[in-house]
């Protein structure tokens, strides 16, 4: 009885069945991998846009809380503000733009990291992304009211975040890029609308990517 069971024909996959299965898996992977890569890139872009929103809101809230100017500016080295207001960038800092709140000084709220001024945050986004701002803009100086300083030169009012997809259609149907507008109140708002982003790119005279 035992011998007859051992000699019984064993069921299994034929070579043809295995080949068909492998071919189907290859086709499915061929569809899934590009979509997964696009999902990762869109997630990275969304994360960067959220970082910008978070940091603008942090600068506003810190200015109100501390009752002194707080500045967000482009920064390559993480310790000083960039002088070049035209180049694309990936890094910025937030700092208390007042070394001593008890003493008024001409350097208060001037958009420059002076001696004794505290850096609150340093941020660098993925090297596959770039950020461009409105013409000759390199900073956002928030007053103790939480509003941007209306008389400061070089204030950021618009930002465009891009990767090498440019303003193409991304995951979910919106643009692969992001545009962030800073309202007169200092509140940042993000959009994925391709038409609005294209219009902003044209009005700013910048490229994306």
Residue 160 lies in a domain: yes
Q: How far apart are CA 121 and CA 80, in angstroms?
A: 12
Q: Which residue has the tokens 């770039």?
A: 130
- Its domain, for residue 75, covers 52-204
E strand or H helix at 32: helix 15-66
Place of tokens 């992977």: 29
Domain count within the chain: 1
Report field, pTM of the whole predicted structure over 0.85: no
Q: How far apart are CA 120 and CA 117, in angstroms?
A: 9
Residue 197 lies in a domain: yes
Decide if 37 is inside a domain. Answer: no
The pLDDT tens digits for 154-170 are: 899 999 999 999 999 98
Give domain status of residue 147, yes or no.
yes
> For residue 125, is it within any domain?
yes
Query: What percent of the chain lies above the pLDDT cut of 70?
Result: 89
pLDDT computed for residue 171 by the predictor? 78
Residue 43 has pLDDT above 80, yes or no: yes
Q: Is residue 34 part of a domain?
A: no
Strand partners, 159: 133, 180
* Tokens standing for residue 156: 């950021």
Q: Give a yes or no: residue 21 inside a domain.
A: no
Residue 115 in domain: yes
Which CATH number fits the domain that encloses residue 152? 3.55.40.10
């Amino acid at each position: 009885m035992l011998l007859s069971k051992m000699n019984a024909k064993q069921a299994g996959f034929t070579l043809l069945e295995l080949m068909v299965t492998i071919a189907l898996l290859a086709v499915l992977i061929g569809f899934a991998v590009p979509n997964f890569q696009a999902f990762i890139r869109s997630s990275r872009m969304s994360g960067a846009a959220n970082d910008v929103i978070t940091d603008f809101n942090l600068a506003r809230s810190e200015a109100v809380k501390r009752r002194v100017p707080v500045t967000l500016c482009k920064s390559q080295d993480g310790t000083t503000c960039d002088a070049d207001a035209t180049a694309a960038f990936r890094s910025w800092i937030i700092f208390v733009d007042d070394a001593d709140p008890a003493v008024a000084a001409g350097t208060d709220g001037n958009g420059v990291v002076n001696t004794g001024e505290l850096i609150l945050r340093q941020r660098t986004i993925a090297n596959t992304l770039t950020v461009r701002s409105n013409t000759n803009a390199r900073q956002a100086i928030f007053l103790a009211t939480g509003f941007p300083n209306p008389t400061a030169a070089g204030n950021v009012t618009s930002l465009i975040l891009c990767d090498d997809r440019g303003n193409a259609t991304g995951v979910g149907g919106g643009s692969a890029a992001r545009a962030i507008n800073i309202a007169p109140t200092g509140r940042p708002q993000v959009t994925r609308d391709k038409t609005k982003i294209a219009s902003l790119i044209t009005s700013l005279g910048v490229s994306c990517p």
